[in-house]
Structure 1
């Protein structure tokens, strides 16, 4: 699978087709805020630090998956993979590419979204916090790289550690 981070002019050329792809294959899991940021993204927005669109292409040159992050994922992190191509590590590859571009990435994933959680873990992200998502569902805050200083919340304070249930 070929994963490419789009240059601003590539995004402008492929924008509507990729928006259609994300909408069709996002399985209603894309948050409204993430969707609106993706729709509003223009060439200038792609020039902002920590903002990129990565696309995985099939051998035939068709989109297999798309990932978008704004503000290193703090503002938005969106991933969609074609249903016929799921389970092949495409989402993992997209997330790893974005994380590799910047050396950091944050995604918020609803706790009932097992496929997205698996992709995040496979890409090297770790869960550092639990919060209520936009619909009220428990949502894990996933970060890359997996190191203690990455466990800072949006205000810069350390997240509370998850209590252990192990007995000594």
Structure 2
């Protein structure tokens, strides 16, 4: 498996393919707002700003030319985040590798996971993300908010 963090140009060329992948294999668990954020993503956010900060990340896992999974996060997850893994590739650790790469790129990340989505919760806990609150998600389900700061960007005490 290869993992690629998309550049602006690669996003432009892969956008339709990845959105189609998400719709086909997202198991109807993807929030409408997150899909909207992905569809309308300004590709400039995939490049670092003058301070080296990325506004968004898209990580794509492939096996040959075949997409086996991908993840997206905007504004460190506050602007939406998702991970989709092809059903034939689930249980192989691909989702965790995608999320780990996204956290590495962004420095920190939040995500919201419906309480009945045990596979996604398992990824979050495996990567040391902390469940910090619970709320009702967009479909009315109990939803956990997870947060993680990479070791490269530890919180600063004042």
TM-score by length of 2: 0.87
Q: Retained in 1: the 8 A contact 2:104–2:150?
A: no
Q: Retained in 2: the 8 A contact 1:124–1:145?
A: no
Residue 57 of structure 2 is aligned to residue 52 of structure 1: yes
Could you list the per-position Cα deviations for residues 40-91 of structure 1 after superposition, in whole angstroms to 9, with x for gaps in the alignment?
A: 1232343473311110111x13111010001100110111100000000111
Superposed CA RMSD in Å reads: 1.9
- 111, 114, 119: which is aligned to 1:110? 114
- 102, 110, 113: which is aligned to 1:98? 102
- The separation in 2 between residues aligned to 1:96 and 1:32, in whole angstroms, is 24
Q: Which ranges of structure 1 fall in alignment gaps of 5 or more residues?
A: 151-168
- The separation in 1 between residues aligned to 2:7 and 2:99, in whole angstroms, is 17
State how 1:3-42 maps to structure 2 within 5 Å: 3-42=3-42
Structure with the larger strand share: 2
Which one has a bigger Cα radius of gyration? 1
- Give the 4+ runs in structure 1 shifted more than 6 A: none
Q: Retained in 1: the 8 A contact 2:25–2:86?
A: yes
Report SS of the residue matched to 1:34.
helix
Q: Which ranges of structure 2 fall in alignment gaps of 5 or more residues?
A: none
TM-score by length of 1: 0.82
- The separation in 2 between residues aligned to 1:94 and 1:51, in whole angstroms, is 14
- 126, 131, 147: which is aligned to 1:122? 126
